[in-house]
């Protein structure tokens, strides 16, 4: 099978690195770049406390969980604080179905969709790793039939691993991930990443117009092998599906 063709960033995506291969691109405007960072560990997070962060965004949204918004028309431009540990009785939620449930039938923590509209959302995920019990993955889905997507994921303290699915049929997709992101990034068609993300990326594969990267410290995986060490480590997952839109990935502090 021939390799996926490299698609260089267009004029509107100056500074993005092509995701289908290791080709270097032009760096972003130096005025917009953050200081140099070392590769963070999975337990690294931005130096911001949960109480301070929640107070800062509470004027927009109080913490919620199992958020479900679906529209036929109209944009979704909001800031949401998602607390995966927040218990909400089933009687207050929509019934489980194939859209708001994950692969094992559990509710998604976030489900946002519009058929004919753009989505620009700021998601603040509350960390609760200090609570007893097993680590629960935070699952999120953001999609639009014909609109563009911009999704910012912010970590409040030490968050659990998360899975984010982003789907757009025709328009550009931009995803901003926290510095604590350690895991795989899979996308279809063409795309680019910032110099900071590219510096922390390991290219894994490119097949049938789909590319796969690992973002973060790959020694966490390679050092643990395929035994118990890998089983104990839960990676983040970012999956982006696009028909014709360009994909861009950056760290959230590069906004």
* pLDDT computed for residue 191 by the predictor: 85
- Contact by Cβ (8 Å): 203, 150: no
Cα distance between residue 45 and residue 57, in whole Å: 18
Q: H helices within the chain, ranges in order? A: 50-57, 195-199, 219-222, 228-232
- Contact by Cβ (8 Å): 7, 18: yes
Question: Which of 168, 169, 174 shows the shortest CA–CA distance to 9?
Answer: 174
- Contact by Cβ (8 Å): 198, 251: no
- Contact by Cβ (8 Å): 166, 239: yes
Cα distance between residue 198 and residue 182, in whole Å: 13
Residue 100 burial (CB < 10 Å; 0-12/13-18/19+)? buried
Residue ranges covered by each domain of the chain:
42-87+105-254
Cα distance between residue 19 and residue 9, in whole Å: 10
* pLDDT computed for residue 26 by the predictor: 31
- Contact by Cβ (8 Å): 168, 147: yes
- Residue ranges of the chain whose pLDDT lies below 70: 1-61, 98-105, 129-133, 135, 189, 220-233
Cα distance between residue 7 and residue 18, in whole Å: 6
* pLDDT computed for residue 97 by the predictor: 72
- Contact by Cβ (8 Å): 59, 235: no
Handedness of CA 203, 218, 156, 237 (dihedral sign): positive
* pLDDT computed for residue 241 by the predictor: 92
* pLDDT computed for residue 203 by the predictor: 92
| Tens of pLDDT, residues 190-230 | 788 999 999 999 999 999 888 999 999 877 666 554 444 44
| Tens of pLDDT, residues 220-230 | 666 554 444 44
> What DSSP state is assigned to residue 91?
G
H helix or E strand, kind and range, residue 77: strand 76-82
Cα distance between residue 230 and residue 176, in whole Å: 26
Extended strands (E) in 83-198: 110-116, 119-126, 138-144, 149-156, 162-168, 173-177, 183-188, 191-193
* pLDDT computed for residue 243 by the predictor: 85
């Amino acid at each position: 099978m021939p390799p996926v063709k490299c698609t260089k960033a267009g004029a509107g995506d100056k500074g993005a690195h092509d995701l289908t291969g290791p080709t270097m691109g032009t760096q972003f405007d130096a005025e917009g770049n953050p200081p140099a960072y070392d590769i963070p560990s999975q337990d690294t997070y931005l130096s911001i406390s949960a109480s301070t962060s929640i107070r800062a965004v509470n004027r927009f949204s109080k913490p919620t969980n199992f958020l479900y918004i679906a529209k036929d028309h109209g944009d979704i431009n909001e800031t949401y604080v998602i607390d995966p540990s927040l218990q909400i009785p089933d009687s207050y939620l929509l019934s489980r179905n194939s859209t708001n449930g994950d692969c094992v039938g559990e509710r998604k923590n976030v489900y946002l969709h519009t058929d004919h509209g753009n989505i620009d959302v700021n998601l603040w995920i509350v960390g609760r790793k200090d609570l007893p019990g097993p680590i629960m993955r935070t699952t999120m889905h953001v999609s639009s039939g014909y609109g563009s997507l911009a999704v910012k994921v912010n970590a409040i303290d030490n968050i659990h691993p998360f899975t984010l699915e982003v789907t757009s049929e025709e328009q550009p997709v931009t995803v901003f991930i926290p510095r604590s992101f350690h895991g795989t990034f899979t996308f279809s068609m063409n795309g680019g990443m910032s110099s900071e993300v590219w510096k922390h990326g390991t290219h894994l594969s490119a097949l049938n117009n789909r590319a796969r990267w690992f973002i973060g410290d790959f020694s966490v995986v390679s050092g643990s092998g395929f035994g118990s060490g890998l089983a104990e480590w839960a990676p983040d997952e970012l999956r982006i599906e696009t028909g014709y839109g360009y994909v861009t990935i950056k760290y959230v502090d590069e906004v």
